[in-house]
Amino acid sequence: MTIRVTVWGENVHEQTNKIVAGHYPKGMHGCIAEGLNEDAAIMATTATLQEPEHGLPVARLAQTDVLIWWGHAAHGDVSDEVVERVIEQVWAGMGLIVLHSGHFAKVFKRLMGTPCNLSWREAGERERLWVASRNHPIAAGLPDHFEIENEEMYGEPFGIPEPLETVFISWFQGGEVFRSGVTYKRGAGNVFYFRPGHEAYPTYHDANVRKVLKNAVKWAHSAAPRLTGVTEAPNVPVTEALEPLEERGPRLHHDGEEGFR
């Protein structure tokens, strides 16, 4: 089965910064999709902020097994309607991979329910990523640690909920550490946050980073049918109870009435 991936990028710095454009002439989203398409089991396409509905209409998301999200300068420009649409698809079973500065994306903050804040420094320092869960599928085929020569530092504390599992921990030349690869379950959807990917550096050309993303896509993908009605809260009449049931007390709502939300 081919895993259908949509790589979403805000596509801002690629258009305004010569350094970023030099690293990513086809956009960061294009580079990420190119790396994923090296794997015959993955079919990756792209979408950007500037497209109608940010390239994520209902029909497109319905045909997306895993959505990858990269954003930085334009989090506030993302439509709340599209955010809710993405979140409902995650609850229904679509996989989500959030990259680098996407920790502040509306989608990620809503799913985490926390500030997702951190400390940072832009100094091109070396990042060493340690595999914290050696048998995790996302770490398959990787060494116990690998390095990225130039990256932006992110430091703890990281304002996220306790992860389902921490797959990677980063160390930076300045001494900070960071939970740089963490997994979650939100509804029926698998969610992975992966830290590397500052736009001023060619991180998404790195072979180990590309390996992580390919592994993460396969982990986040669910072969089960997408759930429907994930936000519904039906009122079940007494007559439809699985066992014989006699109504015994007063109630606020009549059969078929919506509840308070």
What does pLDDT average to in each consecutive run of 10 residues of the chain (261 residues)? Answer: 96 96 98 98 98 98 98 98 98 98 98 98 98 97 98 98 98 98 98 98 98 98 96 91 92 84 84
* Distance, CA of 256 to CA of 260 (rounded, Å): 13
pLDDT of residue 251: 87
* Distance, CA of 138 to CA of 4 (rounded, Å): 18
Helix (H, G, I), strand (E, B) or coil at 133: coil
pLDDT of residue 257: 83
Query: CATH for 3-114+181-220, among 3.40.50.880, 3.40.50.970, 3.40.630.10, 3.10.20.740?
Result: 3.40.50.880
Q: How far apart are the first and last CA of the chain?
A: 39
Residue spans of the domains in the chain: they are: 3-114+181-220
Give whole-number Cα distances, 174 to 59, 153, 203, in Å: 45, 8, 19
pLDDT of residue 56: 98
Q: Which of 47, 96, 51, 104 is nearest to 75 (CA)?
A: 104
Which pair of tokens denotes residue 160? Answer: 């996220």
**pTM higher than 0.85 for the full model?**
yes
pLDDT of residue 254: 83
Q: Which of 128, 149, 131 is nearest to 140 (CA)?
A: 131
